[in-house]
Amino acid sequence: MGLMTDSDDGKIILPHGNYRELLSYKKAEVIYDLTWRFCQRFFAKGDRTIDQMVQAARSGKQNIVEGSKAAGTSKEMEIKLTNVARASLEELLEDYRDYLRVRDLAIWDKESREARYVRKLSQESHTSYETYREFVETRPAEVV
CA dihedral sign, ordered 45, 46, 48, 52? positive
Residue 129 and residue 33 in contact, taking contact as beta carbons nearer than 8 Å: yes
Q: What is the pLDDT of residue 102?
A: 97
Judge whether 22 and 67 are in contact, CB under 8 Å.
no
Mean pLDDT of 52-68: 94
Please state the length of the chain: 144
Residue 15 maps to a domain: no
Query: pLDDT band at residue 91, thresholds of 50, 70 and 90?
Result: very high
Average pLDDT over residues 116-138: 84
Range of the domain at 26: 20-129
- Band the pLDDT of 17: cuts 50, 70, 90: low
At 109, which CATH number? 1.20.1440
In a domain, 144, yes or no: no
Whether residue 53 lies inside any domain: the answer is yes
Decide: 31 and 132 in contact? Cβ < 8 Å. Answer: no
Main-chain dihedrals φ then ψ at residue 52, nearest 5 degrees: -65, -45
- Please determine, for residue 8, whether its predicted confidence score (pLDDT) is greater than 60: no
Q: Is residue 31 part of a domain?
A: yes
Query: Considering its fold, how many domains does the chain have in total?
Result: 1
Q: Compute the average pLDDT of residues 99-120.
A: 93
pLDDT at 21: 81
Q: Is residue 75 pLDDT above 90, yes or no? A: no
Judge whether 140 lies within some domain: no
Please report whether residue 104 resides in a domain: yes
Residue 90 located in a structural domain: yes
- Confirm whether 134 is domain-assigned: no
